[in-house]
Chain A
Amino acid sequence: MNQHKRRPPGRRSPRLAVDLRAALGLTGTLLKFLSVSALVPAGVAILYHESPWPFAAASVIAFGAGLGLERVGAHATTIGFREAYLVVALIWLLAAVFGAIPYLLSGDPQLDRPVDAFFESMSGFSTTGSSILTNVEAVDHSLLLWRQLTQWVGGMGIIVLALAVLPRLRVGGRQLLESEMPDTEGDSLAERIRTTARRLWLLYVALSVALACVLALFGVAGIDRRMGLFEAVSVALATLPTGGFMPVSGSLAQFAAASQWVVVVFMVIAGINFALVYRTLVRRRWRRAAADQELRLYLGILALASIALVTKIWADGLATGEAAVRHGVLQVVSITTTTGFSSTDFASWTTFAVMLLVGLMFVGGSAGSTGSSVKVVRHLLIGRTLRRELRQTLHPEEVIPVRLNNLVVQEKTLRSVTAFILLYVGLFVIGAGIIALDTAVQGPSLSPFDAIAAAATTLGNVGPGTGIAGPPGSFASYPDVSKLTLAGLMWLGRLEVIPVVVLMTRNYWRVR
């Protein structure tokens, strides 16, 4: 009733264009569901005779906060695209805060500072894989599993975000995917999310279980002596979301060559559009997959970069034979799909090899995969747009539609792809600048290339950087401002930049 009371003129608060209460309500509901995930590491803690309380407490806090937000907010049955932007941005931020609670409460000396805990948690939920841990083995099993689990849960969120939510928000390049799920055409956003989630999560779970089983089998069969059940599950939890956390130091270098090759295969799958994987594996439509231009370019980039890197490291004498091929291919696949595993300290390789890998950080997986960064389809479209521009300088009157998989791409899609790439590059430059500036003032001393690599690896949600943040090292010694900047880049990069940046515009909040 109060809502209808007229406010006195002159003291009118500016009307918000976004339905804040509906957005907060939905965020609260999602946070409530998310809080359940902390019960898994609580169980693991009991199994390993570690304290389950940090997880139980985090779960209760998150559940309570979610409930509180639901109370503050309104329960809206439908939610507009303005609110969707806010929900997406908020839930990833709150998830990172929630994920940091067990780290803080555990009292682990490496993770007990709030900035470090937040960095690690954001790195988890954004499926990045950058870490501030310097001695992984010293951390409790339950905490390590929680790290892996944040990535896996983050990946689940990304699948829904990438295939059901973002296409509706018209975020660059993703509109194309809308036509690729014909079974859900015309459904409401909520219904669409539900069907997409049901189908693709099942596939995601199945692939994760398959990888864990294969790796565990290697352990049991003695092919990989260091691969226990805990390790197998942990690797699987970080592979499918293209995360990159590892519960042992040295990443995949600890494990046998056979295990590494299996992980390479699953990383490649994780970088493919999940709707396409679903159709190919479940519906058995091989021919359409073979004709998909994004998939072809994605595999082409992987193949070419692998050949270049293998040749280079073999020629440099860094490795020979099977090891050279494995190191080259694994590093290329891991960086390109934005996973971030490593089988060796690639940051200590020669300049060309490191430059190639940092360059690959800007490629990313396919649209609709759990891979992040720019993504192959955007490279494809920007390439075709540029080719058209060149052709049009010679034939100014010619009308040249850009096509993808023989379908015409709308001009506004091309514009948003261009806008995305400009924003992405802009943020990367700003991020690298802040890190260079901050570390110059506060130390440790970084090379300019290290600052560039740190910004690229976090914005692209890859994981390892170069120099002290290389595969064997960590971001632990970076100053706090840099850590928060990097965490911010992870957040931006994971949510495809635009949903977060749009919140910072005046037009988003105001009607006029």
Chain B
Amino acid sequence: MYPAPAVKIFVIGAGQVGSTIVDALHGEHEVTVLDLDPARLAAISQRFDVATLEANGASRRALADAGVRAADLVLACTSRDEVNLVAGMFARLEAPRATTVIRTSNVEYIELWRQGQLDVDFVVSSEIETAHAIARVIGVSAAVQTDIFAEGQVQIVEYDVTDGSSTDVVGRALRDAVVPADSRVASIIRGASMTLPRGDDIILPGDRIVVIGSPQAATAWGELLAPWEAEVTDVVIFGAGKVGTAIARQLLEQGIGVRLIEENRERARAVAEAFPKARVYNVSGLDPGFLEREQIGHAQAAVFAMREDAKNHYAATLARIHGVAFTIAIVHDAVSRQVYEHAGVDVQVDPRQVTAEEIVRFAHDPRTQQVSMLENDRFEILDITTRATSEYVGLRFREMPIRGALIGAIVRDGRAVFPRSDDTLQAGDRVIVFTESDRASDVERVL
């Protein structure tokens, strides 16, 4: 057998991002967490079996004393850009062969890193990851969450099925359903239960389904499940802070029309100057007269990215009253997710979770190209290259025993193939696998 290589990981910062990372990694790796706040460390060490150390990650001596020299991976994810940057630099000096990943929201650092002037391996930005997550949801109608694999050839989309969805796919056995080409239903989530569907399973209104397919198929699925939704041309973003503007930039790049609402006068002016293509309003998003006058209700989607979750909650509810069909809210406080959901907000995006997810990608098996989490890390999607010794190599897809995982697509010679049941898996194929998070390491081992 070929055991998943245990990796020595240093996590600097035990905040929400840090603890989400620890949650995802502690099971199979040797994790050490550094933070200056003993309360945070205590919270982590109570929940997870990891080493904790009360030390300053931005101190070279503290890093050396903590034994960072032995690390394979250093993740600097405090909320302060400068601390992360310095920690990354010192880690590079102490442990030159370790992979370093830093979290930053400073655009300048990201640009420097892209130009190769910042000596860290990866830079992850909460704002940009959040913007990508939201843009992916908005780009595909009816989607709850989506992610892209294999250089854009494969798309994973999570959809809500409703009464208005097309009967071509809803209410009939999957083998009879008119499923768009190059796609596969990877999972049907009905309440707390999840099934990896077979031919005789049925998609029902109220289900949430996960589809793996080509980007064209993803769009086709969106049209089948939400035929009333047109192409997105008008998105309203409440709050033009760092997250709001990152979202606006991403959407504008995709050619989607953006309207921004910002309460602070100077900030609104600066954003209006920076985004000639966006419309910017200097007003509180809680003013019903304004929402009426500017017909905010006609927007196809509204994103709530104001600093206070309570305000986002209220504004989202108000926007829904005014007729906004699709609402997305940013989660700053973990408890807000439930509040939002209860208020009928369609999608919740937690910047810390998205950031953690992005950082966790670097901790996986080196064969794993990418990992994505669905349903609040209940499921994972892995992009993994098969070994010649895998017991699955040479098997036909229909012969594979189902162990809580499903292969949605394979990438062979750089091209994505959506396998039929008669196809066989070959050594060296990159497979895109949908699995429950608990079984992710099993899947990696088996393949």
Choose one: B269, B283, B293; the contact of A401 (CB below 8 Å): B269
In the complex, the chain B residue whose C-beta lies closest to that of A411 is B269
Decide if A395 touches B272 in the complex (CB within 8 Å): no
Nearest CB in chain B: distance from A88 CB, A: 32
Q: How far is the CA of A291 from the CA of B272 in the complex (A)?
A: 22
Asked if A398 CB lies within 8 Å of chain B CBs, one says: yes
Asked if A403 CB lies within 8 Å of chain B CBs, one says: yes
B407-434 CB mask vs A (1 if < 8 Å, else 0) is 0000000000000000000000000000
Decide if B272 touches A397 in the complex (CB within 8 Å): no
Decide if B276 touches A399 in the complex (CB within 8 Å): no
Decide if A397 touches B290 in the complex (CB within 8 Å): yes
Decide if B281 touches A397 in the complex (CB within 8 Å): yes
Asked if B319 CB lies within 8 Å of chain A CBs, one says: no
Decide if A398 touches B279 in the complex (CB within 8 Å): yes
Residues of chain A with a CB closer than 8 A to B280's CB: 398-399
Nearest CB in chain B: distance from A405 CB, A: 12
Nearest CB in chain A: distance from B263 CB, A: 10
Q: How far is the CA of A401 from the CA of B269 in the complex (A)?
A: 7
Q: How far is the CA of A144 from the CA of B293 in the complex (A)?
A: 67
Decide if A401 touches B273 in the complex (CB within 8 Å): yes
Asked if B108 CB lies within 8 Å of chain A CBs, one says: no
Asked if A408 CB lies within 8 Å of chain B CBs, one says: yes
Residues of chain B with a CB closer than 8 A to A403's CB: 276
A273-297 CB mask vs B (1 if < 8 Å, else 0) is 0000000000000000000000000
Asked if B268 CB lies within 8 Å of chain A CBs, one says: yes
Asked if B282 CB lies within 8 Å of chain A CBs, one says: yes
Asked if A406 CB lies within 8 Å of chain B CBs, one says: yes
Decide if B294 touches A399 in the complex (CB within 8 Å): no
Q: How far is the CA of A396 from the CA of B280 in the complex (A)?
A: 11
A394-417, CB < 8 A from B: 395-401, 403, 406, 408
Total chain A interface residues with beta-carbon distance under 8 A: 10
B255-309, CB < 8 A from A: 268-269, 271-273, 276, 279-283, 290, 293-294
Q: How far is the CA of A425 from the CA of B273 in the complex (A)?
A: 31
Residues of chain A with a CB closer than 8 A to B283's CB: 397
Decide if B273 touches A397 in the complex (CB within 8 Å): no
Q: How far is the CA of A397 from the CA of B285 in the complex (A)?
A: 11
Choose one: B269, B290, B293; the contact of A399 (CB below 8 Å): B269
Q: How far is the CA of A399 from the CA of B273 in the complex (A)?
A: 9
Residues of chain B with a CB closer than 8 A to A406's CB: 276
Residues of chain B with a CB closer than 8 A to A399's CB: 268-269, 271-272, 280-282
Most chain B CB inside 10 Å of its own CB: which residue of A399, A400, A403: A399
Residues of chain B with a CB closer than 8 A to A398's CB: 279-282
In the complex, the chain A residue whose C-beta lies closest to that of B260 is A399
Residues of chain A with a CB closer than 8 A to B276's CB: 403, 406
A377-398 CB mask vs B (1 if < 8 Å, else 0) is 0000000000000000001111
Nearest CB in chain B: distance from A62 CB, A: 49
In the complex, the chain B residue whose C-beta lies closest to that of A403 is B276
Q: How far is the CA of A400 from the CA of B273 in the complex (A)?
A: 8
Nearest CB in chain A: distance from B406 CB, A: 49
Q: How far is the CA of A399 from the CA of B293 in the complex (A)?
A: 15
Nearest CB in chain B: distance from A394 CB, A: 9
Q: How far is the CA of A396 from the CA of B293 in the complex (A)?
A: 10
In the complex, the chain B residue whose C-beta lies closest to that of A394 is B293
Nearest CB in chain B: distance from A399 CB, A: 4
Nearest CB in chain B: distance from A120 CB, A: 49
Q: How far is the CA of A302 from the CA of B276 in the complex (A)?
A: 30
In the complex, the chain A residue whose C-beta lies closest to that of B265 is A399
Decide if B272 touches A401 in the complex (CB within 8 Å): yes
Residues of chain B with a CB closer than 8 A to A397's CB: 281-283, 290, 294
Residues of chain A with a CB closer than 8 A to B290's CB: 397
Residues of chain A with a CB closer than 8 A to B281's CB: 395, 397-399
Nearest CB in chain B: distance from A63 CB, A: 52
Q: How far is the CA of A408 from the CA of B279 in the complex (A)?
A: 15
Q: How far is the CA of A400 from the CA of B294 in the complex (A)?
A: 15
Nearest CB in chain A: distance from B256 CB, A: 19
Q: How far is the CA of A395 from the CA of B289 in the complex (A)?
A: 12
B117-175, CB < 8 A from A: none
In the complex, the chain A residue whose C-beta lies closest to that of B261 is A397
Nearest CB in chain B: distance from A356 CB, A: 35
Decide if A408 touches B294 in the complex (CB within 8 Å): no
Nearest CB in chain A: distance from B243 CB, A: 19
In the complex, the chain A residue whose C-beta lies closest to that of B259 is A398
In the complex, the chain A residue whose C-beta lies closest to that of B279 is A398
Choose one: B268, B273, B282, B293; the contact of A408 (CB below 8 Å): B273
Q: How far is the CA of A400 from the CA of B272 in the complex (A)?
A: 7
Nearest CB in chain B: distance from A386 CB, A: 18
Residues of chain A with a CB closer than 8 A to B294's CB: 395, 397
Q: How far is the CA of A400 from the CA of B281 in the complex (A)?
A: 9
Q: A397-B282, A399-B272 are in contact. List 17 more A-B contacts (CB 8 A).
A: A395-B279, A395-B281, A395-B293, A395-B294, A396-B293, A397-B281, A398-B279, A398-B280, A398-B281, A399-B269, A399-B271, A399-B280, A399-B282, A400-B272, A401-B272, A406-B276, A408-B273
Chain B contacts to A: CB under 8 angstroms = 268-269, 271-273, 276, 279-283, 290, 293-294
Q: List 15 A-B contacts (CB under 8 A).
A: A395-B293, A396-B293, A397-B281, A397-B282, A397-B290, A398-B281, A399-B268, A399-B271, A399-B272, A399-B281, A399-B282, A400-B272, A401-B272, A401-B273, A403-B276
- The 4 A-B residue pairs whose C-beta atoms are closest, nearest first, are A397-B283, A399-B272, A397-B281, A408-B273
